[in-house]
Structure 1
Amino acid sequence: MRSRHVSRVVRADRDRVYAVVADPDHLPRWAQGLASAQVTRDGDDLVVESPMGPVRVRFVPRNPYGVADHDVTLPSGTTVTNPLRVLAHPDGSEVVFTVRQVELTDEEFERDCRTVAADLARLARLVEDRSRG
């Protein structure tokens, strides 16, 4: 299984970025590769309609370390752990997402990496716009 770290520097304070990343209600606004519609809750799980069909998502509890790891249970029943970190950076913060090649062809893996990069760019625009306002 291959993994790739996809990152983006965000010109906003780490805590501000983490607050958006760790709030499931914001997922459809920036993580469109995962959540293409409103997020619903089922206990500790989130149920989202993704481009691959309905998936269940469970985030680690909020923490002071900027860790937003989450497990995604795919429509096939396979669970993929997605490491996600919001780190302090000299220009604000850096968001690092690890893409793993689980149940994906090489072409699909490359597409997922591009999708994550686009999602992180969307997150940056969302948070940077809030920082200015």
Structure 2
Amino acid sequence: MVANSKTLGVSIECPPEKVYEFISDPENLPKWATAFCKSVTKSDGEWIVETPDGPMKIRFVERNKFGALDHYVSPMPGQEILNPMRVIPNGSGSEVIFTLFQLPGMSDDKYLEDAGLVERDLRTLKNVLEGDFNNS
């Protein structure tokens, strides 16, 4: 069975290399992923994100030249949820895209709510990076 999915994006007036470096550092999550991340710590080599639903492990794919920032969150032991994410060049700036899947058992209302939270976080990312870039 194929899950419902929605790809959300934002254009950012900031070079893709800078956007990639910022997003790929888990310590920056509380600065832009505010709907998802209250804080982040590293414990025993793993990143733990404090979320509104409790602590979750997060791991990004290895750094790469393709702009892939796919990451997995583990809300409970034995469960990993893939969050595909990319940074691609867009003129002198960047396009950040994030694909959200409707998880099994997730209501349509919860899925739409999550999409709204991702959109909010992407807008925050844009504001943070454009503010930093324009002030540097």
Class of the TM-score when normalised by the shorter of the 2 chains = over 0.9
Is the deviation greater in 56-65 or in 67-76? Answer: 67-76
How far, CA to CA, are the matches of 2:108 and 2:31 in structure 1? 27
User: What is the match of residue 68 of structure 2?
Assistant: 67
Of 90, 105, 108 in structure 1, the residue corresponding to residue 107 of structure 2 is: 105
Partner of 1:3: 5
Q: Where do residues 4-19 of structure 1 align in structure 2 (5 Å cutoff)? A: 4-19=6-21
The TM-score, its normalising length taken from structure 2, stands at: 0.90
Measure how far apart 1:89 and its partner are.
Answer: 0.7
Could you tell me which amino acid in structure 2 is paired with residue 71 of structure 1?
Y
2:52 equivalent in structure 1: 51
Q: Distance in 1 between matches of 2:102 and 2:79?
A: 12
The size of the alignment, in residue pairs, is 132
Corresponding position of 1:128: 130
Tell me whether 1:20 sits opposite 2:22 in the alignment.
yes
The whole-number CA distance in structure 2 between the counterparts of 1:72 and 1:110 is: 19
Structure of higher CA gyration radius: 2
1:44 Cα deviation after fit: 4.4
Contact 1:53 1:75 in 2 (8 A): no
Instruction: Say yes or no: does 1:85 pair with 2:86.
Output: yes
Deviations 1:41-95 (A, max 9, x none): 1344310111111111011111221111011111475311000100101251000
**Matches of 1:4 and 1:76, distance apart in 2:** 26
Note the C-alpha offset of 1:33.
Answer: 2.6
Measured in 1, the distance between the counterparts of 2:106 and 2:47 equals: 23
In structure 2, how many angstroms separate the alpha carbons of the residues matched to 1:23 and 1:114? 23
* Cα deviation, residue 12, structure 1: 0.8
RMSD: 1.5
| Cα distance in structure 1, aligned partners of 2:54 and 2:90 | 35
- Structure 2 gaps of 5+ residues are none
Instruction: Give the percent of matched residue pairs that are identical in Structure 1 and Structure 2.
Output: 33
Distance 1:113 1:7 in 2: 11
Aligned AA for 2:43?
Answer: D
Structure 1 residue ranges without an equivalent (≥5): none
